[in-house]
Amino acid sequence: MENYSKLLDRLKEITHLGRAGAVLGWDQQCYMPPGGAEERSEEFAVIGKFTHELFTASETQKLLEGAEAEVTNLSPDSDERLTLRMVRRDFDQAVKIPSALVSELAREEGLAHEIWVKARQDSDWKQFAPKLEKLLDLSRQKAEYLGYTDRIYDALLDQYEPGRTSAEVETVFNNLRPGLVKLVHDIAAAPPISDACLRRDFDEDAQKAFSEYVIGRLGYDFTRGRQDKAVHPFCTSFGRNDVRITTRYEKNWLPSSLMGSIHETGHALYEQGFAPGDDGSPLSNSASLGIHESQSRLWENIVGRSRSFWNIFYPELQQRFPGVLDNISLNDFYRAINRVEPSFIRVEADEVTYNLHIMLRFELEQAMMDGSLKVADVPEAWNEKMRSYLGIVPENDAQGCLQDVHWSAALFGYFPTYSLGTILSAQLYEKAIKDNPAITTDLENGAFESLLEWLRTHVHRPGRRYLPAELIERICGEPAQSHSYLNYLNSKFGALYGLS
């Protein structure tokens, strides 16, 4: 299969070029001085343009068509057929977008990040608004080139969650909202839980050391990764053997770094877990960002906020911070780390209210994209939705509409995947326990290998062989559903708050 082999070689070169750009992106968020933003944006533009042009070139098309002809007699489930299905999908979308637009978007994203950082620091939406206007305009152009049937937002959502539409996401949220609202209401009527012990003085160096100890125990391979500090936590991959994560530290709020590190480790375990034989191929990638998020939310919440987890790690935490938690019992700490209360910052929201933060962003993004919400009016609209959904109003823009990095990277359509992944995390965990009940005992003993191996086998190693809906059906024997997630929440928080 000469064409197939040559196509894979060409795609590997394109992948390597894209990863070089990813290294520059990691550097910008972790180490680059702010003054380098303009030159870095030009570097992003060049790499984005070259990568796009190499992929959409006539030579790629000829190799793809020749490879498709070579594999017609193979099984539809063969790696060759599955690979070409994904490449064809990507190619047919990419050729619709002019390389000049790809280049301009990359350039503007590079500039926007530093403007967002400064605007967030100054809590000043007006600093960021003009750049957001530009990114929205370019994203609308991209969506028009891609095409859509119903809403312009659908074209962008499909980039992150293939096959999903805005209407489907709304249905998911509509099915989820009543159960969440009832649980929030019931918890609000119960005696409150204090999280004051999490707001004590936690040395940053000790936070770093403890978080790295924990994520190493979970299975993060530091010989193939590292953790750094960034304004907004993220995970980035330059290949299965170089997967990096970041976190941020707050001296008087322990969960910021600790739970952020565990969350990003969930992403990293996925990236480090792709099949070795797929290295550099189109299959060595995630099925979707919703599937990706299912991994981070599973490890952060279902594992990292569980009683069995803290039975193992709380004594070590007390030792790492001598005198800070000596008078706090394991039970009180466990309750504190799971406290439910409406809060301003999405990445630090509790499990029950988290999806309300996503619904807010999903609705605002659609309104900005279709033009019904002006960029200048975003702070007011944001605050009103916070009041409506969570009963609180941010004191400033940094606490509200400037808290997330995503809009500075033109990641419109990304936010719904957080909720889709959160819901899937419970469904996947439930199936893992059903397949291997010993996982529960292992977790109680501080052994995470059996859960990780189940995820490696069923979620990680398949990579991008299947569309997300196909993958979930193959793993769970049913489509994605929300009742596992609602059952998990009601069981856990019903016990925590003594609900009937």
> At CB < 8 A and 24+ separation, what contacts does 76-82 make?
79/283, 79/465, 80/1, 80/4, 82/283, 82/465, 82/466
Q: What is the pLDDT of residues 217-245, one digit of tens each?
A: 999 999 999 999 999 899 999 999 999 99
Residue tagged active-site, from 108, 109, 161, 264: 264
Mean pLDDT (whole number) for 337-357: 95
Q: What is the pLDDT of residues 132-148, one digit of tens each?
A: 999 999 999 999 999 99
The CA distance from 453 to 457, in Å, is 6
pLDDT digit string (tens) for 58-98? 999 999 999 999 999 999 999 999 999 999 999 999 999 99
Find the length of the chain: 500
β-strand partners of 235: 245
Cβ–Cβ contacts within 10 Å for residue 226, how many? Answer: 14
In this predicted structure, what is the pLDDT of residue 181?
87
pLDDT score of 412: 98
Please report which confidence band the pLDDT of residue 396 belongs to, taking 50, 70 and 90 as the band edges: very high
List, for residues 303-328, the tens digit of each pLDDT value. 999 999 999 999 999 999 999 999 99
pLDDT over 80 at 500, yes or no: no
Backbone angles phi, psi at 345, to 5 degrees: -95, 120
Residue 440 pLDDT level (bands cut at 50, 70, 90): very high
Does this model's pTM top 0.85? My answer is: yes
Tens-digit pLDDT profile for residues 469-498:
999 999 999 999 999 999 999 999 999 999
Is 134 within 8 Å of 154 (Cβ atoms)? no
How far apart CA 48 and CA 104 sit, in angstroms, is 9
Please give the structure tokens belonging to residue 367. 């309104």
Burial 237-267 (b: 16+ CB within 10 A, else e): bbbbebbbbbbebeeebbbbbbbbbbbbbbb
What is the average per-residue pLDDT within 403-411?
96
Give the chain's largest Cα–Cα span. Answer: 70
**Are residues 3 and 67 in contact, defined by beta-carbon separation less than 8 angstroms?**
yes
Mean pLDDT, all residues of the chain: 96
Q: What are phi and psi of 359, to 5 degrees?
A: -60, -40
355's tokens: 């999806």
pLDDT of res. 153:
97
In DSSP terms, 323 is beta-bridged to none
Residue 349 and residue 301 in contact, taking contact as beta carbons nearer than 8 Å:
no
Name, in order, each residue with C-beta under 8 angstroms of 26's C-beta and a sequence gap of 6 or more.
236, 244
Cα(188)–Cα(197) distance, rounded to whole angstroms?
21
Residues 364-392: tens digit of each pLDDT: 999 999 999 999 999 999 999 999 999 99
> Is-contact 360 385, C-beta < 8 A?
yes
365 is catalytic: no
Strands 225-229 and 243-247: parallel
- For residue 152, give both structure tokens: 């312009």
Q: Which residues of 118-154 are buried (b: 16+ CB within 10 A; e: fewer)?
A: ebbeeeebebbbebbebbbebbbebbeebebeebbbb
